[in-house]
Structure 1
Amino acid sequence: MKKSNRAYSVSNVVTKKFKPLSFEGAWKDTLGTPDKAFSAILFGGTSNGKTEAAMKLAKYLTNFGKVDYDSLEQGVSATIRDALIRNNMESCENTFRLLDRVPFEELINRMSKPKSADFLFVDSVQYTRINKAQYYQLKELMLAKGKGIIWISQAKGKLPKGSLADDIMFDVDLKLWVEGFKLFPDGRLNGGGEPLVIWPERAAKYWNEIY
């Protein structure tokens, strides 16, 4: 069995090839140009636009590869259906798949396949029923395959809810707080940093501003 290389010289690191995503427009202003194998946690309170933000990001990522969205919390529900319709997800029919409550072991098997999706959304952390070791198992798999993973989390106050979500927040590249239908980025940003309006009409009402 071939061992993976864990020790690199400075020149090895300097010359290592990464795959930055060529984001443009509002997404570049917000997230910069993350590496394809980026990790993120998107979190916020109830009815603040988490699902809408996740769908918009998922749709944008279909420009760079295939996307799987594991709907653990809501499954194939009316709410998810409405989000798909609002965001015209039929336009990316061949690059987006909604997974209906696919459990952890099945998800590992799915993402291990040669032609698995390039990006995975897990919605939500609180419904995964996994521990920290399993989180790292999925993380290492995605890194090894050069794939991106986005965790969606409920919030308690302005922090992800629960110990696992808290651990994920400190581990991922991007922290994406959603409040009042605006997304506020933080973390290891390669550029970006500007808030992104997710739903102009609702954001305007919440923030008492015009968009």
Structure 2
Amino acid sequence: MFNGSDIEGIDFKLDEYRKEFAKTAKEKITTAEAIVKAYPKPNPPLRHGGDNAYYTPTKDFVQMPKLNDFDTKEDYYRTLFHEFIHSTGHKKRLDRIVPGASFGNAAYAKEELVAEFGAIFLSAEAGIMWRNNSNHAEYIKNWESALKYLKDDNKLLFRASSQAQKATDFILQRDENGVPKYLHGLLKTVKKKVTRQKEVVGMNAPEIILDLPPIKEMILRLPPKQELLIATSSSKIATKLQQEEFKEGTVQAPVNTVLPEVVAENKTPLLQQNNNVATKPQQESTKPQQVLHESKRGTTKQHKNVLSTSDINNMTFDTLPFTGEWASFMQEPAKTMKLAIWGKPKNGKTAGATKLANYLTNFGSILYNFADQGINKSTQDLWKLSGLHEKENAFLSEAREIKDLEKLCASGDYDFVFIDMINTYIHRTGMKPHEFEDRFIKKFPNISFILIFEVTKSGNFKGDQGWTHLPDALITVDSFVMHNQGRYGVGEYVVWEEGLRKVNPKKYKEYFGEEEDEKEIVIDL
């Protein structure tokens, strides 16, 4: 194998190599997408927008320009792999990134070498040809002065390469047979079965059914007496039927023939789509137009908001892999969940909400909006008791205006937003449930919203009952115990054991059993 630039007499036009724009999701590189999707959980969120690609360890997310902004899709994935290799250095993963490393110093130079090597390794895994990209060359030139450290450390390249291999292995997660995790999904195959019937004469002709994936309804417009060729790319034969023979019934005999190009609704040749047609002899047919239906029908343009069973079965949704007591509390919720928390004052709803916020920092950045109590000594104590004071991706706000809250959500910096209490905004603006849904839930679909409500003296929800229909789950708090009920199962979580023991000893015994009475110790002297 030789570099094309080293070969004389032939212009391979390497500078123009695959300078196409990736216009649709169909042009994504399947293997590369699978590698990114199989990243170990909790994975750093991937966000798109802007002109710069970077990974931020303080907030633990990867930022990328959109796919169409790159010259080629290969350039996009090489850059994406570079940033994801950086993310493996976070302290909760491989703990490789040196805090305080600045542009140009030795630690920074080594980390960039690790990311570049790792991007090459992952590109090779994805089958992406690595060429001398000007962007990569210019990027390396920007920190060329840092390469002076190679003179002082002649093993720097080897160490960087070794760290890059560890980062690559971390992402690929090979099993005992050396098969990376992403391949397990790609290696699954679906066998197609074709049922054939013997030749039958007359109106008792059986139905010919091909067990194939669902496609859209296709209409073949045929003039009278024109032959109808039913294409089947798997057997390379066709069934020849005259239109009038549909009325009388006929012998269905397979004949070798040249398959015609049948163009479906999207103008793509039928055989290229691998969409075969299942037919059934009709008892009556007086119109020159025949409509052929697959045994399984997909969604048509006339019903664009309708999904078939196969459509919903093939859909995938991101979830949060909760473990331990949190998994017992609410199983494995959606990545973009919506929760409502309420309870009487001084029963632990804010304490419970901050503990939940602390756990969610394992999956992304959180913003806790103390709209009701603001930020004060009590807030500081709650922050410390919940453990949030040790989290670099946890942030506070005392915003009380809708427009200010919208700006915070629009920043794209937060994955989970707690609003404590939402009643503050309701009282100040008269906001209705559908207004919150339009201005926040639909406008920011990538954010999970956790709303804390106040209740009546009897402990019931206070306000428009429409708010109770917005969340996926309702969490009530009583005597420092959170009770979850909704789409994520039913569960309980004790916010504060000592508080539960003091305010509700009976309930405490149900959870933790009887306490042993202290025995009197008598010493005879």
TM-score (norm: length of structure 1): 0.88
- Report the alpha carbon displacement of residue 87 of structure 1 after superposing the two structures with TM: 1.8
Gaps of 5+ in 2: 1-303, 513-525
- Report the alpha carbon displacement of residue 204 of structure 1 after superposing the two structures with TM: 1.4
Aligned-partner Cα distance in 1 for 2:315–2:341: 29
Aligned-partner Cα distance in 1 for 2:466–2:501: 33
Would the aligned equivalents of 1:73 and 1:101 in 2 still touch at CA under 8 Å? Answer: no
- Counterpart of 1:12 in structure 2 is 311
Q: Is 1:154 aligned to 2:451, yes or no?
A: no
Q: Which digits, 9 at most, give the CA deviation of each residue in 1:119-178, with x for residues without a partner?
A: 110111210132333211212123x32x21100011112322111xx3221221110000
Q: Which digits, 9 at most, give the CA deviation of each residue in 1:18-58, with x for residues without a partner?
A: 11110011110011110011101000001000110010000
- 2:345 counterpart letter in structure 1: T
- Counterpart of 1:96 in structure 2 is 394
Would the aligned equivalents of 2:338 and 2:449 in 1 still touch at CA under 8 Å? Answer: yes
TM-score (norm: length of structure 2): 0.37
Structure 1 segment 72-111 matched on structure 2, within 5 A:
72-92=371-391, 94-111=392-409
Aligned-partner Cα distance in 1 for 2:420–2:390: 22
- Report the alpha carbon displacement of residue 101 of structure 1 after superposing the two structures with TM: 2.1
Root mean square deviation of aligned Cα = 1.6
- Report the alpha carbon displacement of residue 9 of structure 1 after superposing the two structures with TM: 3.1
- Counterpart of 2:472 in structure 1 is 173
Runs of 4+ in 1 over 6 A off after TM superposition: none
**Structure with greater strand share of residues:** 1
Other structure's SS at 2:469 match = helix
Picking from 331, 334, 339, the partner of 1:35 is 334
Would the aligned equivalents of 2:364 and 2:414 in 1 still touch at CA under 8 Å? Answer: yes
Aligned-partner Cα distance in 1 for 2:496–2:384: 14
Aligned-partner Cα distance in 2 for 1:73–1:117: 20
Would the aligned equivalents of 2:355 and 2:387 in 1 still touch at CA under 8 Å? Answer: no
Q: Is 1:120 aligned to 2:424, yes or no?
A: no
Aligned-partner Cα distance in 2 for 1:126–1:6: 35
Would the aligned equivalents of 2:370 and 2:421 in 1 still touch at CA under 8 Å? Answer: yes
Aligned-partner Cα distance in 2 for 1:202–1:188: 29
Aligned-partner Cα distance in 1 for 2:407–2:385: 31
- 2:379 counterpart letter in structure 1: I
Bigger relative contact order, structure 1 or 2 (CA pairs below 8 A, ≥6 apart) = 1
Q: Which digits, 9 at most, give the CA deviation of each residue in 1:58-116, with x for residues without a partner?
A: 00000000001111001112221110121232211x21100112421222232123x32
- Report the alpha carbon displacement of residue 6 of structure 1 after superposing the two structures with TM: 4.2
Would the aligned equivalents of 1:19 and 1:35 in 2 still touch at CA under 8 Å? Answer: yes
Aligned-partner Cα distance in 1 for 2:309–2:413: 32
Query: Aligned residue pairs: how many?
Result: 199
- Counterpart of 1:133 in structure 2 is 434
- 2:451 counterpart letter in structure 1: W
Aligned-partner Cα distance in 1 for 2:336–2:388: 23
Gaps of 5+ in 1: none
